[in-house]
Copies of this chain bind each other. A is one copy, B any other.
Amino acid sequence: MADVIVTDGDETRLATVISALRTLLGDRLQTSAAVRDAHGHDESWHETHAPDAVAFAQTTAEVSEIVRICAASRMPVIAFGTGTSLEGQVSAVNGGVSLDLSLMNSVLKVHAEDLDCRVEAGVTRKQLNSYLRDTGLFFPIDPGADASLGGMAATRASGTNAVRYGTMRESVLSVTAVLATGEIIATGGRARKSAAGYDLTRLLVGSEGTLGVITELTLRLQGIPEAIAGGICPFDSLDGAVDAVIETIQTGLPIARIEVLDEVQVAACNAYSNLSLPLSSMLFLEFHGTTASVEEQSTRFAAIASDHGGGAFNWTTEPEERTRLWEARHNAYYASLALEPGKKGMTTDVCVPISNLARCLRETKEDLDASFLTAPIVGHVGDGNFHTIMLIDPDNVRDMAEARRLHDRMVRRALALEGTCTGEHGIGLGKIAFLEEEVGQAVDMMRTIKRALDPHNILNPGKIIAS
């Protein structure tokens, strides 16, 4: 395929960078339209902005060299894992080089006795769990996609287990990263806790590739529990389901997963995953512990559920049925997209204090029910976090206007209820204005940090902060 290169600016500058990168990487520098296009968008509705070239790095030293080459020409560098982000994080809005880390996919070390491991940034969560299969350990963070662990750290991802095991914020012990200068830093060791200086690990986690490129991570692992019990529970109403969640959390039941699906999402999952769940609001639950303790938790939850209009809570410790249900839950996003083939999903992701969750969900559901768009609701309600997936044709002006209206109302509702504009998807391109609404002048502090660490704005420009 011909090298068809579209640049925002200076052709000479780009030629210099490409020539230097080709010398460094050989075939691992790609400039074909197909490869560039595939690196210019994520799984969201955000439009494609292809990079000018894609560099496939194999080592941290190579990442450093690539960043140095780009920095010398002030060329943007956009770190790329699996391209499964949901707010346009990998889009090359100013052109530049997509730095693909998928070849850095080695699990470097598992310290089973310390419940930690060291991985390269391109290792995916499923790959890691498959690697850990015989150790009695697992890595709990599970966004829907089989994302790379570097990308999950960069977007501060979470998922269904966060109510028990935390998010990437709590799961990353330290990282190796390449800064905008090309300098390689390591943020710490393997200690469980540390009070040694500024928390650079947490600063890089969630920085979406704008402060540094994460190349290696030390991750906390969890022991696979002796027993896992799980099941589903239908509810008369979304309100009832949410009230059951709130009481479950408030009574301190150490639940591992508690997820809500509205009847639209249940219908989508039935169709996509060949299930026959009743079409009502539904909780998916899981308890981890000893055999005695998961039985106690399940019984206690059943009593709470029946107080809030819940139907029979059939729980099981059998792995097969549980796995089938949770696979369906994990595929909720793809199931939603399949409701109207050819459409894109505009996802929103908010998180509120749990006492405000019922109201936030109810008002959102009323908005969606009144709209002509199809929009299932699904959420990690134990954390107060939920999503809608509005099915849209991005070229249809009416769809887009309606989706944006619903989106903005939902986010502003969450902010008014002391919540956040994103619980786990990040800011990317889609929520820059809302970040400013949420934290006000603190954005200036973010901007100061960004300018100090990346004065020429080469690391994933245009994301998180409007420059």
Which residues of A are at the interface with B, using a C-beta cutoff of 8 A?
A: 111, 113-116, 155-158, 162, 166-167, 169-170, 179, 183-200, 202-203, 205-207, 211, 222-223, 225-226, 246, 249-252, 254, 289-290, 292-293, 296, 349, 351-355, 383-385, 415, 418-427, 431, 434-435, 438-446, 448-453, 464-465
* Given contacts A195-B422, A385-B193, A183 and B351 within 8 Å (CB-CB): no
Whole-angstrom distance from the CB of A191 to the nearest CB of chain B?
A: 4
Please tell me if the beta carbons of A197 and B206 are within 8 angstroms of each other in the complex. yes
Closest B residue, CB atoms, query A422: B195
Q: How far is the CA of A441 from the CA of B114 in the complex (A)?
A: 26
A412: shortest Cβ distance to chain B, in Å?
13
Given contacts A290-B296, A439-B186, contact A419 B198 (CB under 8 A): no
Docked complex Cα distance between A17 and B369 (Å): 61
Check if B427 sits within 8 Å of A195, measured CB to CB: yes
Complex CA–CA separation, A166 to B422 (angstroms): 23
Smallest CB separation, A238 vs chain B (Å): 19
A286 CB to closest chain B CB (Å) equals: 16
- Since A169-B199, A185-B440, A290-B296 are in contact, a sample of 9 more A-B pairs with Cβ atoms closer than 8 Å, ordered by chain A residue number, is A187-B439, A189-B418, A194-B422, A195-B422, A195-B426, A196-B427, A197-B442, A199-B206, A289-B293
Instruction: For A452, list chain B residues within 8 Å (CB).
Output: 448-449, 451-453
Tell whether, in the assembled complex, residue A193 and residue B464 are in contact, meaning their CB atoms are under 8 Å apart. no
Other-chain contact of A197, B158, B222, B354, B439 (Cβ < 8 Å)? B439
Q: Name A176's closest neighbour in chain B (CB-CB).
A: B442
A424 to B191, CA, bound (A): 11
Q: How many copies does the complex hold?
A: 2
* Chain B residue at smallest Cβ distance from A350: B191
- Docked CA distance A355–B109 (Å): 14
- Kindly list chain B residues whose C-beta atoms are within 8 Å of the C-beta of A443: 197
The 9 closest A-B pairs by CB, nearest first: A452-B452, A202-B202, A194-B420, A223-B252, A191-B351, A191-B420, A113-B355, A185-B442, A114-B353
> What's the minimum C-beta distance from A68 to chain B, rounded to whole angstroms?
15
Question: Do A250 and B435 have beta carbons less than 8 Å apart?
Answer: no
Nearest chain B residue, comparing its CB with the CB of A427: B197
CB-CB nearest in chain B for A246: B113
Complex contacts, A116 vs chain B, CB 8 Å: 353
A383-B190 contact in complex given A179-B445, A198-B206, A448-B452, C-beta closer than 8 Å: no
CB distance from A464 to the nearest CB of B (A): 5
In the complex, how many angstroms separate the beta carbon of A43 from the nearest chain B beta carbon?
16
Closest chain B CB from A195 CB (angstroms)? 4
Is the beta-carbon distance between B195 and A423 smaller than 8 angstroms?
Answer: yes
A-B CB contact pairs (8 Å), 17 listed? A113-B355, A157-B195, A185-B442, A187-B442, A189-B418, A191-B418, A192-B384, A194-B422, A196-B435, A197-B439, A197-B465, A200-B439, A202-B202, A290-B296, A292-B293, A451-B452, A452-B452
Q: Quick one: closest B residue to A218, CB to CB? A: B418
Instruction: Decide: B156 and A195 in contact? CB cutoff 8 A.
Output: yes
Given contacts A189-B418, A252-B225, contact A194 B351 (CB under 8 A): yes
A449-B446 in contact (CB<8A): no
Contact A192 B351 (CB under 8 A): yes
Instruction: Choose among A183, A184, A198, A440 the residue with the greatest number of B CB atoms under 10 Å from its CB.
Output: A198
- The one of B170, B194, B419, B451 in contact with A189, judged by C-beta atoms closer than 8 angstroms, is B419
Q: How far apart are A102's CB and chain B's nearest CB, in angstroms?
A: 22
Chain B residues near A431 (CB-CB < 8 A): 196
Residues in B whose Cβ lies below 8 Å from that of A192: 351, 353-354, 383-385
List the B residue with the shortest CB-CB distance to A224: B252
Give A431's nearest chain B residue, CB to CB. B196
Given A193-B167, A453-B448, A198 contacting B464 (CB threshold 8 A): yes
A289 to B415, CA, bound (A): 34
Q: Are B420 and A198 in contact (CB under 8 A)?
A: no
Complex contacts, A170 vs chain B, CB 8 Å? 166, 170
Give the residues in chain B near A189, CB-CB below 8 Å.
353, 415, 418-420, 438
In the bound complex, residues from chain B placing their C-beta under 8 Å from that of A184 are 441
Contact call A420/B196, Cβ cutoff below 8 A: yes
Cα(A191)–Cα(B449), bound, Å: 24
Is the Cβ of B195 less than 8 Å from the Cβ of A199? no
B190 contacts A111, C-beta separation under 8 Å: no
A447 to chain B, nearest CB (A): 10
